[in-house]
Amino acid sequence: MSDERMPPPAVPAADEPPAAPAVEAASPDVVLAPADTALPGAHRGGFRRELTQPLPVAPPLAVHPDPDEAAAPDVRWIPPAPVLPRSAGWSLLFGSLALVLACFVGWGFPVGVIGVVLAVLALRRPWEKRETAFWGLGLSIASLAYSAGWLWWAASQGALSG
């Protein structure tokens, strides 16, 4: 073993600025960021989702001109959003009612048709509960099948068929 020691690391003098790190230029396959980047949440064009747009807020009106008056400022806000039509729950109600009717008589057929129409309307609307609409559609279709069976059986028993 030799008694040689490693030289101490070079320390820059206090008045010398540290050397800037060397940065290589970007390779040609790197895509540079656009100069006009949009703010977070800004619309980027294309499909607009109507129900998730931010709602405009009306600026508050001026405070009463008389400062001696201790009344609160007259602040008006935008009107509430219109109530959206709901049909998923109604389709479930009509489907279950039609299925109960179809177990006993075949005249639950129109109620089942109403349940199917309401379920299809609910499935086309993005704000409806899809699970409820699928249950309403399934029960309505089952009631239509049972009602059609009852009506076929009643027709075969009567004088309608030869």
- 101 located within any domain: yes
Rounded Cα–Cα distance for residues 109 and 46 (Å):
44
For residue 51, tell me if it sits in a domain.
Answer: no
Cβ contacts of residue 92 below 8 Å, gap of 6+?
A: 115, 132, 133, 135, 136, 139
Residue-number span of the structural domain to which 125 is assigned: 88-153
Place of tokens 């109960």: 100
| Reported confidence tier of residue 1, pLDDT bands at 50, 70, 90 | low
Report the distance separating Cα 34 and Cα 28, nearest Å. 16
* pTM of the entire predicted model: 0.49
Q: Please check whether residue 146 lies inside any domain of the structure.
A: yes
Q: Is there a domain that residue 107 lies in?
A: yes
Structure confidence at residue 63 (pLDDT): 52
The helix (H) or strand (E) run that includes residue 152 is: helix 130-157
Asked whether residue 24 is assigned to any structural domain, the reply reads: no
Query: Would 36 be classed as within a structural domain?
Result: no
pLDDT score of 108: 86
Tokens of 147: 């009602």
Q: For 26-64, what is each residue's pLDDT tens digit?
A: 777 777 666 666 667 666 666 555 666 666 666 655 555
Side chain identity at residue 16, one-letter code? E
Domain count across the chain? 1
Q: Is residue 49 part of a domain?
A: no
Is residue 75 one of the residues assigned to a domain? no
